[in-house]
Amino acid sequence: MRPGMASERRLRIGIACYPTFGGSGVIATEIGLEMARRGHEVHVFAYEKPARLEGVSDRQELGAGILFFHRVEVRDYPVFHQPPYALAMASRIVDVAAHGGLDLLHVHYAVPHATSAYLAREVLRETLGARAPKIITTLHGTDITLVGSDPSYRPITRFSILKSDAVTVPSEYLAAETRARFDVGDMAIAVLPNFVDTDRFRPREASADVPSSRAAGVPRFVHVSNLRPVKRLGDVLAIFAGVRREVACELVVVGDGPDRVGGETWVREHGVQGVSFLGHHLEVADVLRETDVFLLPSELESFGVAALEAMAVGLPVLASAVGGLPEVVEHGRSGFLAPVGDVEAFVKRGIALVTQPELARAMGARGREIAVERFALGPAVDRYETLYRSLAPFSP
Ligand code: GMT
């Protein structure tokens, strides 16, 4: 148990998230793992085991605490056009909370998790009254800017956000968007920036004893995402092709998603050499350590966890000047930001980074500094723990 925690009560924390490789699932599970290590009892709810819980059993002691994984079974039935996932999530939470008790529910991505949490809490209030779990909703991005503000989801999303006991966002940008789009009055929105495990995501050892799989001297770009349209994979490939026309280089694409096949086809049809699609990779840090420049020309990012992870490894970042990315990447210091869709501007910056290794190294070093000083896991999880404890009735 952490020093000082003995006098504090162990919290029973429910965490609901999407299990995919996306940033919200990563942040949710990293919070869960760290809370368990700190001595709390953590219950993770998702429709399948999140990628970062790979190798962790469904009941796993971790440090002084314990983590449980609860699969949300979404039963289909012939009358359903779509199986009701939101109800299955709420029912699973009620079931676990009614038997073991939960002090709070920390739900990630509002649609529909904030609504599932609201439903679960209302059911639990019938028997537990004021001891029903408190709800913390962390908004992540498209749950506000795209899906949640679509008329088909907006009223219920807004209601569920307003009914949360605390609302957090990873960037000032997303706080402003939430206020602008959801008419939430003076509702408190806490900006708790996302974070990175700077031990796991650390630069490559400079030692000659550490072998590298790199082709000597050929600079390598890397892009990590779930390959959805918002990531603009077409731009990733066009930027790489533009740089490669001037300088020999390679591109590694990590992740999978709906745009992958189109991307592979484009590469083939345009005869672009040097591109590798790796698909999902559990050890992203290892891949990052074997590359030189991180490329993220997204349409929108509320934060950009993947860019932060690259910075922690010591890579310069070349990204869109959009959303919360300017709160993470310091333009001209830890990388370059360029207008969304301005392939030429990206190519110019890309050429500068691969032809000026000293510049790239200095920017990578600044990125590492920013990750350690402003976005390290420990202090970030401290902020969540303080928030958890601030919510009555279980504050010490
Ligand atoms: O909102 C999404 O598109 C999905 C979400 C996710 O689950 O990965 O990504 C968002 O949340 C991440 C974690 O907070 C942020 O790093 C991403 O920038 C954000 N994506 C967008 O805003 C498009």
- pLDDT band at residue 207, thresholds of 50, 70 and 90? low
Per-residue pLDDT for 168 more than 50? Answer: yes
Domain-located, residue 322: yes
**CA 109 to ligand 1: nearest atom:** 7
- Gap between the Cα atoms of 170 and 172, Å rounded: 7
Residue 39 contacts residue 131 (beta carbons within 8 Å): no
Domain-located, residue 6: no
**How many Cα atoms occupy the beta-carbon half-sphere of 49 within 13 Å?**
11
pLDDT tens digit sequence for 133-151: 999 999 999 999 999 999 9
Q: Counting Cβ atoms within 10 Å, is residue 381 exposed (0-12), middle (13-18) or buried (19+)?
A: buried
Residues of the domain holding 308: 220-374
- pLDDT band at residue 293, thresholds of 50, 70 and 90? very high
| Judgement on whether residues 243 and 382 belong to the same structural domain of the protein | no
Segment 54-65 mean pLDDT:
96
> Alpha-carbon dihedral of residues 139, 195, 17, 304, nearest 10 degrees?
60
pLDDT at 100: 82
**How many Cα atoms occupy the beta-carbon half-sphere of 117 within 13 Å?**
36
Instruction: Look at ligand 1, atom 16, and give the residue with the nearest C-alpha.
Output: 304
Domain-located, residue 155: yes
Per-residue pLDDT for 29 more than 90? Answer: yes
pLDDT at 5: 56
| Judgement on whether residues 354 and 234 belong to the same structural domain of the protein | yes
Give me ligand 1 centre to Cα 146, in Å: 11
Domain-located, residue 110: yes
Domain-located, residue 64: yes
Per-residue pLDDT for 1 more than 90? Answer: no
pLDDT tens digit sequence for 211-241: 555 656 899 999 999 999 999 999 999 999 9
Give me ligand 1 centre to Cα 61, in Å: 29
Segment 177-188 mean pLDDT:
96
pLDDT at 217: 80
The residue type of 24 is S
What value does the mean pLDDT of the chain take?
Answer: 94
**CA 174 to ligand 1: nearest atom:** 22
- pLDDT band at residue 8, thresholds of 50, 70 and 90? confident
pLDDT at 304: 98
Q: Are strands 65-71 and 59-62 parallel, antiparallel or unpaired?
A: antiparallel
Domain-located, residue 202: no
| Judgement on whether residues 106 and 246 belong to the same structural domain of the protein | no
Give me ligand 1 centre to Cα 298, in Å: 11
Domains identified in the chain, total number: 2
Instruction: Look at ligand 1, atom 21, and give the residue with the nearest C-alpha.
Output: 301
- CA distances for 170 relative to 23, 75, 361, angstroms: 11, 33, 27
- Gap between the Cα atoms of 97 and 117, Å rounded: 11
Give me ligand 1 centre to Cα 125, in Å: 32
Give me ligand 1 centre to Cα 170, in Å: 10
- pLDDT band at residue 14, thresholds of 50, 70 and 90? very high
| Judgement on whether residues 351 and 387 belong to the same structural domain of the protein | no
pLDDT at 167: 98
**What is the percent of the chain where pLDDT is above 70?**
94
Per-residue pLDDT for 396 more than 90? Answer: no
- What CATH number corresponds to the domain at position 34? 3.40.50.2000
pLDDT tens digit sequence for 318-366: 999 999 999 999 999 999 999 999 999 999 999 999 999 999 999 999 9
Give me ligand 1 centre to Cα 143, in Å: 9
Give me ligand 1 centre to Cα 109, in Å: 9
Segment 47-69 mean pLDDT:
96
Per-residue pLDDT for 30 more than 50? Answer: yes
**CA 306 to ligand 1: nearest atom:** 16
| Judgement on whether residues 158 and 144 belong to the same structural domain of the protein | yes
pLDDT at 395: 47
Instruction: Give which of 76, 59, 78 is closest to 67, Cα–Cα.
Output: 59
- Gap between the Cα atoms of 37 and 63, Å rounded: 4
Segment 112-132 mean pLDDT:
96
**CA 138 to ligand 1: nearest atom:** 14
Q: Which residues line ligand 1 (CB under 6 A)?
A: 18, 22-25, 27, 109, 140-143, 170, 194, 230, 300-305, 323
| Judgement on whether residues 370 and 382 belong to the same structural domain of the protein | no
**CA 143 to ligand 1: nearest atom:** 1
**Angular region, 279: left φ>0, alpha ψ -120 to 50, beta rest:** left
Give me ligand 1 centre to Cα 367, in Å: 20
**CA 108 to ligand 1: nearest atom:** 7
Per-residue pLDDT for 132 more than 60? Answer: yes
